[in-house]
Amino acid sequence: MNLLLEPLYQTAPFLRRHLISLVLAGSHGYGMATETSDIDLRGIAYPPPEAVFGLQTYEQTTLAEPDTVIYSLPKFVRLAMKGNPTLLEMLFAETEHWLICTEEGERLRAHRHLFLSKRVFYSFGGYAYKHLQKLSAQADNPSASYHGKDASHLIRLLQCGIELLQEGALRVKRENAAELLSIRQGQWKLTDLLAYAQSLYDQLQAAHANTRLPDQPDSATIERLLMQMQMRFYLERGDEPTAT
């Protein structure tokens, strides 16, 4: 763990105290990792005090190796409210994939359903629709191939979108990982893949029409949660601004 985190702390030292949660994402999180799969880390952190009380701004910290993105808590909340797939996956990740989860991280996770709304149809389905159109165009060419990683991503997002709209839950670690891997490895015929994707998109539309999810997230409750978390951290445990 220390070997994974040390490059991050060297890049942004304040994160030693400000990390709220850190999850193993990407192929490992989906249960689709192979021997050659990269490590993907995604996390949430309180911004440095200079960005809260001073003139600085802070939205995220990124690293190339290992592939890491740490979102500021306010940015995370804004994107999660929009139904961003990557951000929702962080909230619904399997417990085994939570590398760091503070008390406030647990609190955020306990309120994850506040972020769900009909917006997930557009966030999950929007990406899928674009790639479905690309596959449809390729199907006119019998010799055409498809990009395996994009295709498996398409199918996974459609399946996850259906689950969210029907059940109000997201299973990040996929039970059909073997199926998704076979798609990523290009083992499907393009015509079969296209028919499968179209069937899933039709199911997504039907799920959207019948979902019990609200039109919009509960923004008032989410805002109170955000304010409570930040006020508690900076008033009780926050760092002093960095001396210059």
Model confidence over 189-241: pLDDT tens digits? Answer: 998 999 999 999 999 999 999 999 999 999 999 999 999 999 999 988 655 55
Any domain includes 242:
no
- Number of domains, the chain: 2
Q: Are 21 and 107 contained in the same domain? A: yes
Any domain includes 55:
yes
Q: Are 66 and 187 contained in the same domain? A: no
Q: Are 228 and 201 contained in the same domain? A: no
Q: Which H/E stretch holds residue 75?
A: helix 73-81
The burial class, CB within 10 Å (0-12 / 13-18 / 19+), for 120 is buried
Q: Which domain, by its residues, includes 43?
A: 17-111+219-237
Q: What is the pTM of this model?
A: 0.92
pLDDT-derived band of residue 140, with 50, 70 and 90 as boundaries?
A: confident
Q: Are 80 and 142 contained in the same domain? A: no
Q: Are 102 and 158 contained in the same domain? A: no
Residue 182 has pLDDT above 50, yes or no: yes
Task: Write down how long the chain is.
Answer: 244
> Of the candidates 74, 69, 68, 80, which has an alpha carbon nearest to the alpha carbon of residue 51?
74
d(CA 73, CA 85): 16
> Of the candidates 60, 64, 67, which has an alpha carbon nearest to the alpha carbon of residue 44?
60
Determine how many CB atoms are found less than 10 A away from the CB of residue 33. 17
Report whether 14 contacts 240 (CB < 8 A): no
Q: Are 130 and 146 contained in the same domain? A: yes
Q: Are 88 and 35 contained in the same domain? A: yes
d(CA 195, CA 151): 12
E-state strands within the chain? 19-25, 40-45, 60-63, 67-72, 98-101
Q: Are 105 and 181 contained in the same domain? A: no
Any domain includes 157:
yes
Residue 143 has pLDDT above 70, yes or no: no
Any domain includes 3:
no
Any domain includes 33:
yes
Residue 134 has pLDDT above 90, yes or no: no
Any domain includes 127:
yes
- The percentage of residues in the chain with a pLDDT greater than 90, rounded to a whole number, is 81
Report whether 161 contacts 124 (CB < 8 A): yes
pLDDT-derived band of residue 139, with 50, 70 and 90 as boundaries?
A: confident
Any domain includes 192:
yes
Q: Are 31 and 75 contained in the same domain? A: yes
Q: Are 75 and 130 contained in the same domain? A: no
Q: Are 204 and 226 contained in the same domain? A: no
Residue 244 has pLDDT above 60, yes or no: no
Q: Are 89 and 136 contained in the same domain? A: no
Any domain includes 12:
no
d(CA 222, CA 8): 28
